[in-house]
């Protein structure tokens, strides 16, 4: 039995979340422009989706662009937005044919019109798919998500749509972007950074973390299997 067979025969996480970090450092190490790293990183997203589908993972949440990323150089932001459009145009039919459902969490109103249009097209086309739920964090920040949830609860309370005694952990989850998903079982962060960077702070309360020094453009199927193998050796007792 080889490594892949061993891992795929074990307990597979239902929901994996990934902080894809290291594109710029990868490009710098190769004396290439930053955009070279972002483009290679986009290819790894395609690989990741396929590999997760093959392994039977049901939910995949990826951190594509944070609210803080808007502070980057405008040329880099424009390139990332164009790259997202290119990704959708190139991969959407393939994702749809493989029964992948695409959702977005974040403030898509801030996106350039062309990017927003393609994002909305991908959501509409794949809304009824069921094999793998690809959840893309785009213009996303977890603190902002939590504040948004609180505001919506207050709105519903003032309109008599929810009572104080009905507000609890389960009802609160319904106001988050991930309302139709289980919390992540496993979080993977690449590039050696050991922090959450404002990603899914509420949802990761009992998630298992896996940090690797591998830069995102080098994160292949073997690295994914290593992360899942690590998860398979964890004992999850949720405080019991």
Catalytic residues: 21, 69
Provide the 10 A C-beta neighbour count for residue 239.
5
Beta sheet of 59-66, edge-to-edge order? 100-105, 132-140, 59-66, 15-19, 186-189, 208-211
Instruction: Give how far Cα 153 sits from Cα of 64, 162, 166, 191, Å.
Output: 27, 8, 11, 37
What is d(CA 78, CA 174) in angstroms, rounded to the nearest whole number? 33
Which residue has tokens 């292949």?
Answer: 220
- State the pairing for strand pair 59-66/100-105: unpaired
The contacts of residue 141 (CB under 8 Å, 6+ apart) are 66, 67, 68, 106, 198
Q: What is the token pair recorded at 220? A: 């292949």
């Amino acid at each position: 039995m080889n490594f892949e067979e061993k891992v795929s025969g074990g307990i597979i996480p239902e929901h994996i979340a990934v902080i894809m970090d290291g594109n710029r450092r990868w490009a710098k190490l190769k004396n290439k422009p930053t955009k070279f790293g972002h483009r290679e990183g986009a290819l790894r997203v395609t690989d990741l989706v396929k590999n997760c589908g093959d392994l039977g993972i049901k939910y995949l949440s990826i951190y594509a662009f944070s609210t803080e990323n808007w502070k980057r150089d405008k040329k880099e932001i424009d390139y990332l937005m164009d790259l997202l459009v290119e990704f959708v145009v190139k991969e959407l039919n393939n994702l749809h044919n493989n029964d992948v459902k695409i959702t977005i969490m974040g403030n898509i109103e801030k996106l350039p019109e062309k990017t927003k249009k393609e994002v909305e097209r991908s959501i509409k086309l794949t809304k009824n798919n069921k094999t793998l739920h690809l959840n893309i964090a785009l213009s996303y920040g977890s603190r902002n998500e939590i504040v948004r949830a609180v505001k919506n609860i207050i709105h519903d309370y003032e309109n008599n749509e929810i009572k104080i005694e009905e507000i609890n952990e389960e009802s609160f989850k319904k106001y988050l972007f991930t309302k139709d998903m289980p919390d992540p079982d496993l979080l993977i962060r690449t590039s050696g950074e050991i922090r959450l960077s404002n990603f899914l702070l509420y949802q990761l309360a009992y998630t298992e973390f896996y940090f690797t020094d591998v830069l995102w453009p080098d994160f292949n199927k073997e690295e994914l299997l290593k992360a899942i193998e690590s998860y398979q050796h964890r004992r999850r007792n949720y405080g019991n």
